[in-house]
Structure 1
Amino acid sequence: MKPDEISAYSHPVKVSTLSASLTNLRLEADAQALEALARQWNVTEVRSLKADLQIARWKKDGVRVKGRVMADLVQECVVTLEPVESHIDEPVEATYVPDGSKLARALTVETAEMVVDPDGPDAPDIFVGDTIDIGQTVAEHAAMAIDPYPKKAGAAFPGHIESTEKDDKRPNPFAALKDWKKD
């Protein structure tokens, strides 16, 4: 999300109040946030957004968040435009570092080369001040799990025939010459 965009769901947490031991946090979006998320995600309806998280200090001045995000939403079928209900249940794992930390400086140096493992953990998010927005992280993880092409069970394009392997083969340009006889 761009820094100038406002998240439809927010739950600020003061970093200075966190301890090194795990803190359990259960979040649930209210009706107003659910409506704003539906608009932001461009879906028909968001019925629920919940998260069960564990938050703890990480290294010297960072924060680590782990848990699960669950959401129930309604989208339009890409074939019939009928409502399709979806359930999301995704793991959440995020790390935050303050903007003045060594890790934050390493991430913002433009001349440095960075090697990223696509299967490895994400790079830490940078926060300014003493507050992180856990709600925004929850909403982002849920948004990434939304099916971009929801299809109702049994929905099909009428009159549309899927191509077969035979249809996908390129025709031989010399096939017409095989029956041509020499005179």
Structure 2
Amino acid sequence: MKPVLSHPVRFADMPQRKVSRIRLVPDVGQLEALADRLDVDAFRKVLLDVELSPGPGRDWTLTGKLGATVVQPCRVTTEPVVTRIDEPVVRRYTPDLTTPEGEEVEMPEDDSLEPLPKVLDLGDVLEEALALMIPEFPRAEGAEDIDLTVQPPGAEPLSDEAVKPFAGLAALKARMEGGE
């Protein structure tokens, strides 16, 4: 899927001995499209400031900061919640990395390491980082917890202690030790 804000970078065309600085700022239409794509009410502003540094060897390092203001509904009250995001973004690209194949794959220790693409779209980096940083369950200030206790008429509601995995075994052990 093509990013809302496309900014392709060909590493072969980049200066090989100095840092390149790039800033992405989506316009109003792109902010609306990003909000639709990432399923939030709105983005008031989004800014990705990055530096692309060559080396070591044929590797490249992307470091920067993502800033955004996102509006989402509170998961309890549905009131709008405004969240400010200011987070670092780090990616390392290397031509020597192979993508593991198979049903079960062990995750690498360095989750910022990625295969070096011929063309890197910084719009993809922006969208991916933003999607990872948006709060999953935003809550309005002062929102009360909802009590979702349900039980049949006349029955006692389950307590937190009763739903623990070994609560039934503990009760059984207590009955056996008590001679019941």
The alpha-carbon distance between structure 1 residues 136 and 149, as it changes in their structure 2 partners (threshold 3 A), is: same
Provide, for residues 91-137 of structure 1, a one-character-per-residue CA deviation record: whole Å limited to 9, x for no partner: 1111234xxx4x14xx14648x976444x342223413xx3212211
- What residue identity is the alignment partner of 1:156? E
What RMSD over aligned residues (CA atoms) do the two structures have, in Å? Answer: 3.2
Unmatched 5+ residue regions in structure 2? 150-157
The answer as to 2:1 corresponding to 1:11 is no
2:112 counterpart (122, 131, 136): 122
Once residues 159 and 121 of structure 1 are traced to their aligned partners in structure 2, the CA distance between those partners, rounded to angstroms, is: 38
Map of 1:1-183 to 2, 5 A cutoff?
5-15=1-11, 16-97=13-94, 101=95, 103-104=96-97, 107-108=98-99, 110=101, 116-118=107-109, 120-128=110-118, 131-157=119-145, 170=167, 172-173=171-172
- What residue identity is the alignment partner of 1:122? S
- What residue identity is the alignment partner of 1:78? R
The alpha-carbon distance between structure 1 residues 115 and 22, as it changes in their structure 2 partners (threshold 3 A), is: same
SS of structure 1 residue aligned to 2:90: strand
Once residues 82 and 125 of structure 1 are traced to their aligned partners in structure 2, the CA distance between those partners, rounded to angstroms, is: 42
- What residue identity is the alignment partner of 2:71? V
- What residue identity is the alignment partner of 1:12? P
- What residue identity is the alignment partner of 2:29? Q
Provide, for residues 65-113 of structure 1, a one-character-per-residue CA deviation record: whole Å limited to 9, x for no partner: 101111111011111111111111111111234xxx4x14xx14648x9
The alpha-carbon distance between structure 1 residues 158 and 144, as it changes in their structure 2 partners (threshold 3 A), is: closer
Cα drift, residue 160 of structure 1: 5.0
8 Å CA contact 1:94, 1:125 repeated in 2: no
- What residue identity is the alignment partner of 1:123? L
Identity %: 26
Cα drift, residue 62 of structure 1: 3.6
- What residue identity is the alignment partner of 1:146? I
Report how many residues are paired: 165
8 Å CA contact 2:76, 2:146 repeated in 1: no
- What residue identity is the alignment partner of 2:130? A
Normalising by the residue count of structure 1, what TM-score does the alignment of the two structures yield?
A: 0.73
Unmatched 5+ residue regions in structure 1? none
The alpha-carbon distance between structure 1 residues 159 and 143, as it changes in their structure 2 partners (threshold 3 A), is: closer
